[in-house]
Copies of this chain bind each other. A is one copy, B any other.
Amino acid sequence: MNLDALYSNLTIKTGAKLALIVLDGLGDIATKAQDELTPLEAAHTPNLDALVAAGVAQGRMIPVAPGITPGSGPGHLGLFGYDPLEFLVGRGVIEALGLGFTLKPGDIAIRANFCSLNEKKLVTDRRAGRIPTETCQRLCALLASKLKKLGTTEVHIVPGKEHRFVVVLRGAGLEGPLTDTDPNREGLPINEAKPVDPKNAKQKKVAKLVADFYKAALPLLAKEKPANGFLLRGIAHQPDIPLFENRYGLKAAALAVYPMYKGLAQLVGMKKIEGPQTIKEQFERYVAEYDNYDFFFIHFKYTDKYGEDGNFEAKKKAIEEFDEALPIFLEKRPDVLAITGDHSTPCAVKGHSWHPQPVLIQSALSGSDKLERFTETGANLGSLGIFPAKFLIRLMQANARMFDKFGA
Contact = CB atoms under 8 A, between A and B. Distances in A.
Nearest to A93: B408
A329 interface: no
A70 B1 CA distance: 14
B403 A354 contact: yes
A30 B10 CA distance: 26
A68 interface: yes
Given A68-B6, A405-B70, A369 B377 contact: yes
Chain A binding surface SS class: loop
Contacts of A386: 384-387
A314 to B, nearest CB: 20
A31 B366 CA distance: 9
Q: Which of A72, A348, A369, A404 is the most central at the interface, judged by chain B CB atoms within 10 Å of its CB?
A: A369
A349 interface: yes
A365 interface: yes
Interface in A207-248: 234
A293 interface: no
A370 interface: yes
Nearest to A64: B406
Interface stretch (A44-52, A284-292, A295-303, A390-398): A390-398
A69 B405 contact: yes
Interface in A338-394: 346, 348-349, 351-356, 364-370, 376-377, 380-387, 391, 394
A387 B387 CA distance: 10
Contacts of A408: 71-73, 90-91, 94, 234
A29 B383 CA distance: 10
A380 B382 contact: yes
A407 B89 contact: yes
Interface in A84-105: 84-86, 88-91, 94
A214 B406 CA distance: 28
A383 B379 CA distance: 9
A120 interface: no
Nearest to A63: B406
A198 interface: no
A394 B352 CA distance: 16
A1 B88 contact: yes
A88 B60 CA distance: 31
27 contacts: A1-B85, A1-B88, A7-B67, A10-B68, A29-B366, A30-B55, A36-B368, A60-B383, A67-B391, A67-B395, A67-B398, A67-B403, A68-B394, A70-B407, A71-B405, A72-B408, A73-B407, A84-B407, A348-B364, A348-B365, A354-B403, A355-B383, A356-B385, A369-B377, A369-B380, A377-B383, A380-B383
- In the A-B complex, list the 3 residue pairs whose CB atoms are closest, starting with the nearest: A29-B367, A91-B408, A385-B386
